[in-house]
Structure 1
């Protein structure tokens, strides 16, 4: 085995080659344009040591305040641009989507782990478009509406268990989100959340969240390390093991649906739609399996994370819980829980939900977009190959011109004409459609319609059923979040209690009766 000195020497030789190659590729700035401003870097390594390994978006916000809404970073000779306002993000990703919709091929996540199969990380091209067509078919608004019985069923189960075991809120929120999407994707039921297939699926979700952040692995910074043989590159062995785990899971779930189709026992789900129209979509078994697996990844972790942040907001801002409870009580009353037909009459429920996603965005840092052709925007020159971090939601959602006093949790900004984010009529525009928390342009989150309905119905039902409050004697952190490109508050102590004995009894009765009308069993 090579000595550590030899390995280090190889690393630095490859790094030097990489830097020289990137410097050689630098392009001349067009006449009348200029390079974006940014923090000065160090020779060869640029801004690499200035970027925190965790929660880098906090540093990006500081730089945005200093250098403006568009600033440049040099990371080992690679050009990065960070955009920190919604207007510029829309100008680039929506108006020039043909240029800004690709992805840098991160060696570990895109190549070694995903093997050019995961739509989230695919470059903009024909394979990505075919996968996106399947996603759109499965998640378009009309399809999402048909999934409401599953969301009602899972929300009833969640409330029943949450009021009995509130300290398990993280697991229960994850089971709620995972339960909805597992049923939609594969027609499989989650009873406890400890089933091997759901544990394995969530393990894949958390792995992707961990490894897909740029710079998570040394090979992402020094791509030439890909040329090392596996015996000298432990990251290759790790990636191979992770890939084998996830592709075995995705193949197994699809194969199970295939067998049920043969037996005429398959419930309607994403997998049956794909398998019945596979030729039309033009996707191989593995490509389709990864599309459906990606929808699970997008729906499971993000919805659960948003619900955890909702609880955090209610603990820190109990006055808004009072407001949303008053609205739900006025519209729904005491005798029943909110239903989907009530949602358009509950603007405060929707405003609180939207403000949670602004105040504590799940995808705080985002996945960079790769520019495929030289471009000039407002006099700023971006060369082809630039990584454009558009979805820096931490900064975008703290733009003081669009969100006055942005650090304060204030749902009123969506409800009052005194704020620039207000749009009317509220029953039409107070929604999550095309909201920046879900991304921009052609890479917008494909599960947005399903997530919107899952969040709205559960926030409404939580407000109707429970009080969320600080537990005496325990401090609740203001910002103590997990790492990765999807984040949520680390577990904290608080109380969830029934608003009344009558409501607790109603929830128990509803769940007991609801188990006999499981929509999956009836499909």
Structure 2
């Protein structure tokens, strides 16, 4: 009898396991629709190896504004309309602000990267620290940095026009290193600049890889040794390099601040927050390092996309230059001109719509069961906001692959105002996220983009390069993005002719930079704190209190 009971128990257990295995990969009743699944793997076999945004767009056209993908043991809910994003990620942000587990991404990040961090006390603490230094009031004070770095970029384009992509990267990176660490990046050959962009590109490749997907949806594979998981071994190597870079930046700045030798910067607030709250140097380094990535990569990638659009749509720069000549005449545009330059503002908005760097967004995760449009959204599901599909919805934007600043002729909203608009259809782009994960540096990004776009168009003409052998124009492929299937993308480097619109404008660029050099020391760093900077009244950490 005892043996019979044991046998029955074993058989029942086996059948239960088989039943549960048979359910893996199936789309449960009540979930949003989606492509047909296979046992165990679900839709995993249909996930594209490259240009994933195009496949996600096709599924949106077939299955509508909300669909689901069953990826082994995981569920992904894909939001492909502005209203769905408003309803869930914005209005229900209290349950839609976490992140799904990203195994390899967190190995690269050491668990410190705010971008991938789950919603909780640590994330909220970091967000508060960041908000204090990047809010709309603080953003206005960074204009001296933006003005100087922009003029440095113009001079570099004048002197080395073929390297315009490198100059754009230095511009965005140097602006960010000043705000965060108090020093300028003065050369495109700076090894720290090269390491940052290379490392972040590889991070994006890792998180978008097939290996990352398999390890997320079948966690049992994580028990395999590194010799059978080369991507995990590579992720550990990336983390070591990344950690050394970010901790090096932070500790060097921390030391200089304590000695009273550093220029005021975001790390002033970060060091004080660390002393008050007691978090580690690793967390502090990745807070500043993550902001360095965001400020450097997103702005530069958007500007590279803008440059490509000027080459592909030559009528746009001509119309923009006509507006600039009418409003600004012989002087460089500045931020006060923004209200009078609607076409330039349209170029900014269209750049972020036409070439969104976070092409499929960064997935959120829902922390409890929810319902939407009659569908069930299960606790723990990844929730992706389908940026590319929304930006290229012909019902939202006619002829979406045409770069047309006139789409925004009557839209004077900033990125923040558009993101907060109660009418979802009035949001211009989804580059900066949604809900509580909305990028806090978008006020700074808007200004950096305006200065770069307006002044490059004021000073330069952009033409297609010509192949030396065939004598034919080289036309960049707007669909050729790098990495092929990464978390964040940008156009593959392309050739273009950048030349001053006139010798007078070239001399004016040199003259403007000459004025800037008077503010710098022999090492091309700020001689004194720029007027109006948020940390102007800064005192070194540990300075004696005033009596």
TM (normalized to structure 2)? 0.85
Deviation sequence 1:196-245 (CA, Å, 0-9, x none): 33233333322322223364534234322222344554334322222222
Match of 2:297 in 1: 301
In structure 2, relative to structure 1, the CA distance for the partners of 1:21 and 1:267 (3 Å cut) is: farther
Aligned mates of 1:20, 1:237 — CA distance in 2 = 32
Match of 1:13 in 2: none
3-state SS, counterpart of residue 34 of structure 2: coil
One of 144, 147, 156 as aligned partner of 1:152:
147
1:456 equivalent to 2:450? Answer: yes
In structure 2, relative to structure 1, the CA distance for the partners of 1:148 and 1:376 (3 Å cut) is: same
1:486 equivalent to 2:488? Answer: yes
Aligned mates of 2:502, 2:195 — CA distance in 1 = 38
Structure 1 spans left out of the alignment, 5+ residues: 1-16, 417-422
One of 173, 179, 186 as aligned partner of 2:174:
179
Aligned mates of 1:153, 1:216 — CA distance in 2 = 43
Match of 1:237 in 2: 233
Equivalences for residues 119-518 of structure 1 within 5 A: 119-213=114-208, 215=210, 217=212, 218-280=214-276, 283-334=279-330, 336-390=331-385, 392-416=386-410, 423=411, 426=412, 429=413, 431=415, 433=417, 434=419, 435-472=429-466, 473-476=472-475, 477-483=477-483, 484-518=486-520
Shift of 1:287: 1.2
Q: Is the 8 A contact 1:354 1:432 kept in 2?
A: no
Deviation sequence 1:134-177 (CA, Å, 0-9, x none): 11112111111111111111111111111222221121111111
Shift of 1:438: 1.0
Aligned mates of 1:95, 1:139 — CA distance in 2 = 23
Q: Is the 8 A contact 2:129 2:273 kept in 1?
A: no
Q: Is the 8 A contact 1:343 1:457 kept in 2?
A: no
1:98 equivalent to 2:94? Answer: yes
Shift of 1:35: 1.9
Q: Is the 8 A contact 2:344 2:450 kept in 1?
A: yes
Aligned mates of 2:54, 2:92 — CA distance in 1 = 27
Shift of 1:82: 1.1
One of 75, 80, 83 as aligned partner of 2:76:
80
Match of 1:520 in 2: 526
Deviation sequence 1:32-90 (CA, Å, 0-9, x none): xx321111122222212212111211011111111111111111232111111111111
Match of 1:420 in 2: none
* Number of aligned positions between the proteins: 490
TM (normalized to structure 1)? 0.89
Shift of 1:455: 0.5
Q: Is the 8 A contact 2:366 2:380 kept in 1?
A: yes
Q: Which moved more, 1:454-463 or 1:133-142?
A: 133-142
Deviation sequence 1:278-335 (CA, Å, 0-9, x none): 244553322121111100111111111111110111112222212211111111111x
Aligned mates of 1:187, 1:356 — CA distance in 2 = 29
3-state SS, counterpart of residue 72 of structure 1: strand
Q: Which moved more, 1:339-348 or 1:179-188?
A: 339-348
Deviation sequence 1:101-131 (CA, Å, 0-9, x none): 1111111112x22222111001111111111
3-state SS, counterpart of residue 194 of structure 2: helix
Shift of 1:182: 1.1
RMSD: 2.3
Structure 2 spans left out of the alignment, 5+ residues: 1-16, 420-428, 467-471, 530-547
Deviation sequence 1:349-390 (CA, Å, 0-9, x none): 111111111111111122211111111001011111211111
In structure 2, relative to structure 1, the CA distance for the partners of 1:116 and 1:18 (3 Å cut) is: farther
1:64 equivalent to 2:60? Answer: yes
Aligned mates of 2:296, 2:185 — CA distance in 1 = 13
Aligned mates of 1:365, 1:146 — CA distance in 2 = 32
Aligned mates of 2:228, 2:370 — CA distance in 1 = 40
Q: Is the 8 A contact 2:108 2:239 kept in 1?
A: yes
Q: Which moved more, 1:450-459 or 1:261-270?
A: 261-270
Q: Is the 8 A contact 1:18 1:222 kept in 2?
A: no
Q: Is the 8 A contact 2:74 2:217 kept in 1?
A: no
Deviation sequence 1:251-280 (CA, Å, 0-9, x none): 211111122123211111111221133244
Aligned mates of 2:518, 2:335 — CA distance in 1 = 21
Q: Is the 8 A contact 1:210 1:216 kept in 2?
A: no
